[in-house]
Amino acid sequence: MIDAVGLVLLGPDHRALMVLPQGLPASESLKRAHQAFLAFDSRSWLPSLDVPVLTLGGTDDPVVPLIHVRALHERLQRSTLVAIEGGGHVPTLQGAKRAREAIRNFLQAF
Amino acid sequence: MELKDRPVHQKLIDIGGATLEVFDAEAPRSAGVVCAAHPAEAYTAETANLLRRVTGTRVVSVNSRGLGNSSGEPGSLESMSLDLDQLRHELDVDGWTFWGISGGGWLAQLYARDFPTSTQGMILESACACYRQRVADPDCIMSPNHASWRAVLSEQGCLGKTCLVSMGKPDRYPSRARGA
């Protein structure tokens, strides 16, 4: 099962909490870290952040589906959302020109 | 000298209690410094150079404790955020824009909350607000309910209703049909 899936993190009830597909970090320390990351939830305090934000996502991202990127954007009071059509996970590092342009334009303000 | 040819300096910075590995990619443009860090992935000089080519600014990419050549063990996200601001002091940077990529987005959000005066802005790329909610989404490849894993996990008896019940269903989300 592990070979087919990658790595499955189980909860105390031996039910699967999450899957780390092959290729993602999976050392012992990082397994523990991922368990801790599952507690991360900023939804209650995101609206209080008063900083400019560029929120980027790919429409075809299987790791962070765009719906979650959009939900993040909608809780931020000063966010601009740029969705890269056909973009996967981390479109900038995949060379998406529009993502790079959006970042350059965003940083012009500083 | 073209930006891609400018040096990327590897530094080991003592922040008190730990030494963090930093790749400092210099740039001629004085306006703005971009910080990049991830809680579970080590960055390299190549990463810093790539990010600099995108931003056109100085980029400081940081390896959290236990990653790359940074000392210690990975701590909580809050402690990583604290380390980053200590590092900012050590580098004598007044403020920076945090580029949080994927899981680095959690660090960016925490840093902006805890150190607002040091945060000029944030770039949140492929990031989310709630990890638990994301992995409960069958469209996320890290979800046990994703089509790629569901059958085999079910066969092994480790897929249960808990995946969606105890981890929480997405609450108020806009329609998936909406355009980007």
| Domain architecture of chain B: domains with CATH | 3-127 (3.40.50.1820), 129-180 (no CATH)
**Token pair listed for B24:** 């400092």
Taking the CA of residue A3 and the nearest CA in chain B, the distance in Å comes to: 11
Q: Which stretch of DSSP H or E encloses residue A66?
A: helix A66-75
Residues 86-115 of B with CB under 8 A from A: 97, 99, 101-103, 105-106, 109-110, 112-113
Would an 8 Å CB–CB cutoff place B162 in contact with chain A? yes
B74 shares contact with chain A (CB less than 8 Å): yes
* Sign of the CA dihedral with B151 first, then B156, B162, and B163 last: negative
The partner residues of B119 in beta bridges, in order of sequence, read B96
Which helix (H) or strand (E) covers residue B38, if one does?
A: strand B33-38
Q: Is the pLDDT of residue B41 over 60?
A: yes
Pairwise pLDDT comparison (B127 vs A32), residue with the higher score: B127
Q: Check CB contact of A44 with chain B, cutoff 8 Å.
A: no
A-to-B residue pairs, Cβ atoms closer than 8 angstroms: 224
B127 touches chain A (CB under 8 A): yes
* CA distances, A22 to each of A3, A8, A60 (Å): 8, 10, 19
Say which of B54, B132, B173 has its CB closest to residue A103.
Answer: B54
Q: Which of A33-42, A53-62, B19-28, B166-175 has the lowest mean pLDDT?
A: B166-175
Q: Is B130 on the interface with A (CB under 8 A)?
A: yes
CA B37 to chain CA centroid, nearest Å: 5
Token representation of residue A46: 């995101």
DSSP 8-class letter at B94: S
Q: Which residues of B touch A98 (CB under 8 A)?
A: none
Min Cα distance B106 → chain A (Å) is 7
Half-sphere exposure of residue B61: CA atoms within 13 angstroms, side-chain side: 25
Cα-based distances in Å from B155 to A11, A42, B160, B165, B171: 17, 34, 11, 20, 29
Mean pLDDT to the nearest integer, B16-28: 94
B59-80 pLDDT tens trace: 999 999 999 999 998 889 999 9
**What DSSP designation does B82 have?**
H
Q: For residues B19 and B70, is the Cβ–Cβ distance under 8 A? A: yes
- pLDDT bin (cut points 50, 70, 90) of residue B43 is very high
B16 and A CB contact within 8 Å: no
Say which residue, A21 or B142, is predicted with more confidence.
B142
**A49 contacts in chain B (CB < 8 Å):** 109, 112-113, 116
pLDDT 10s digits, A94-107? 878 999 999 999 99
- Report how far apart, in Å, the C-alpha atoms of B83 and of each of A33, B98, B103 are: 16, 14, 17
Whether residue A67 is predicted with pLDDT greater than 80 in this model: the reply is yes
Mean pLDDT of all residues in B161-177:
36
Residue from B55, B142, B163 whose CB has the most chain A CBs within 10 Å, to mutate: B142
CB atoms A90 and B126 under 8 Å: yes
Q: CA torsion angle for B32, B34, B35, B37 (degrees, to 10)?
A: 170
User: Is the predicted pLDDT of residue B167 greater than 50, yes or no?
Assistant: no
